[in-house]
Copies of this chain bind each other. A is one copy, B any other.
Amino acid sequence: MPVNSFEHYPMSWKPDKATLKRPFYQSLALYLERDIVNGFLAPGTKLPPQRELADFLDLNFTTITRAYKVCEVKGLIYAVTGSGTFVAPNAARSITISAEKQANLIELGFVESFEETNTLIKDSIQRVSEKKYVEQLLTYNDPTGIPHQKTAALNWMEPFGIHADQEHVAIVSGAQNALAVTLASLFEPGNRIATDLYTYSNFIELAKILHIQLIPIVGDEYGMLPDDLEKQCSQLNIHGIFLMPSCSNPTTVMIPDFRKRELAEVIRKYRLILIEDDIYAFLTAGVIEDYRQPMYQLLPEQSVYICGTSKSICSGLRVAYMVFGDALREKILKGIFNINVKTSSFDAEVITELILSGKAHQIVSQKIQLAKTTNELYFDYFPIKKNHEHPLSFFRWLPIEKEIDAQALEADLQRHGVRVFHSVRFLSGQSRPEKYLRIALASTNSLQELEIGLTKLKKYLDN
């Protein structure tokens, strides 16, 4: 029997002891999940400490540990040694982002890629469809890409600072697919990956699906802090790190070279697998003056470099290039075979044709121009510029003051005809006091529509 009565102690959660069935840890985890999903326990709520709940329920406290663990693995709660256990910010809510076009809704949420440039692609598709060797594109052969396609891929990435050979590049079905292949091939459930505090929400969701734990690392204006990374690595067994150095999603931070080198040192020391998502390389390398190199070149043996063509060339043809160290090669290829079998050689060929014909560069130029225009427009409305934010980002990270719950804010704005995403969607760990909105600039049908959207947004936020 418990020694104390807890009637007078405030415990945020008091599961009904009488209805608890064996096995206790499962029963308890189920109750906890139910109360979180029902909304009885709101995000951020501090749960009773393990020992206190154990005392209350008259169980050994490691049984509570186990029950809490079940819910932590499901992403419902998170624990901080010394502070306690808390309901996760996105518990019981999917933050998966996808294109869900709705009439009369201005899309500033999902980040597209100025789809108006797609007019340039039709020709290339036709040209490929008329090639003599089309039939060779229609078999199971060359599951990681046809040699000449890989050569074009390497040419494409060369100005981004990537140097690799045919054996260490593979074509997959878009950058998200590359991430799925990477996580499934190189990590196991329970492994930990370091990420920025705010990171790409579909990466968070993917990690959740595969039961990989994200460890949020503090950053400053130059990106992730090497000291905090070092600290976390020294006290936790961390297996990998996810970064978007040339333009982080959602913060738009561009990591300067000195910081890349500092981070690389820690990554090398702890032998982390670096996952570098360089989907915005085309906006940075050769465009931003002091840009040096991708982190892949600092750590080629322990890195996976992912270069999607959805943002730079065409979003509908699902193609991304993966470049990887030799030690990772076998596992990645196996992952590709088991998740994709292969990527459509036809799609890859169209991208190849676009690259070889120079059309891809033309498209990139147009997109950069559009990025300039839309960013200027944005800064007319929200003239807050910070150091080391990418000036040409396809989206912006807008600090907001409004004291309103994230879901309510998104819903409010949706009623006003604008879709945006609140910063809680991008939280890799615990709640934060600062709030932001991610504003996509590359997803409206026209500049006019974007302007209307920004006007509505500003009006709403100023109220």
- Whether a CB of chain B sits under 8 angstroms from the CB of A347 is yes
Of the residues B118, B205, B318, contact of A338 by C-beta under 8 Å: B205
Please tell me if the beta carbons of A98 and B316 are within 8 angstroms of each other in the complex.
no
Q: Report the Cα distance A185→B209, complex, angstroms.
A: 7
The B-contacting residues of A in range 191-242, CB under 8 angstroms, are: 202, 205-206, 209-211
Query: Known contacts A173-B343, A185-B209; can you find 12 more A-B pairs with CB under 8 A?
Result: A115-B138, A118-B139, A119-B135, A121-B138, A122-B135, A137-B316, A138-B316, A139-B315, A140-B310, A173-B344, A316-B346, A347-B347
A119 neighbours in B (Cβ, 8 Å): 135
A339 neighbours in B (Cβ, 8 Å): 176-177, 180, 206, 339
The B-contacting residues of A in range 163-196, CB under 8 angstroms, are: 173-174, 176-177, 180, 184-185, 188-190
A58 to chain B, nearest CB (A): 24
The B-contacting residues of A in range 134-157, CB under 8 angstroms, are: 134-135, 137-143
Please tell me if the beta carbons of B318 and A343 are within 8 angstroms of each other in the complex.
yes
Of the residues B99, B129, B140, B342, contact of A125 by C-beta under 8 Å: B129
A315 neighbours in B (Cβ, 8 Å): 138-140
Please tell me if the beta carbons of A98 and B173 are within 8 angstroms of each other in the complex.
no
Kindly report how many copies of this chain are found in the complex they form together: 2
Of the residues B122, B141, B310, B342, contact of A318 by C-beta under 8 Å: B342
Find the B residue at minimum CB distance from A99.
Answer: B140
Q: Report the Cα distance A177→B343, complex, angstroms.
A: 10
Q: Report the Cα distance A188→B343, complex, angstroms.
A: 26
- Flag A55-96 by CB within 8 Å of B: 1 or 0 each: 000000000000000000000000000000000000000101
Chain A interface (Cβ < 8 Å from any Cβ of B): 94, 96-99, 101, 110, 112, 115, 118-119, 121-122, 125-126, 128-130, 134-135, 137-143, 173-174, 176-177, 180, 184-185, 188-190, 202, 205-206, 209-211, 310, 314-318, 330, 334-335, 337-347, 350
Please tell me if the beta carbons of A135 and B110 are within 8 angstroms of each other in the complex.
no
A129 neighbours in B (Cβ, 8 Å): 122, 125-126, 128-129
A122 neighbours in B (Cβ, 8 Å): 129, 134-135
Of the residues B99, B141, B211, contact of A143 by C-beta under 8 Å: B99
Q: Report the Cα distance A171→B198, complex, angstroms.
A: 31
A189 neighbours in B (Cβ, 8 Å): 189-190, 211
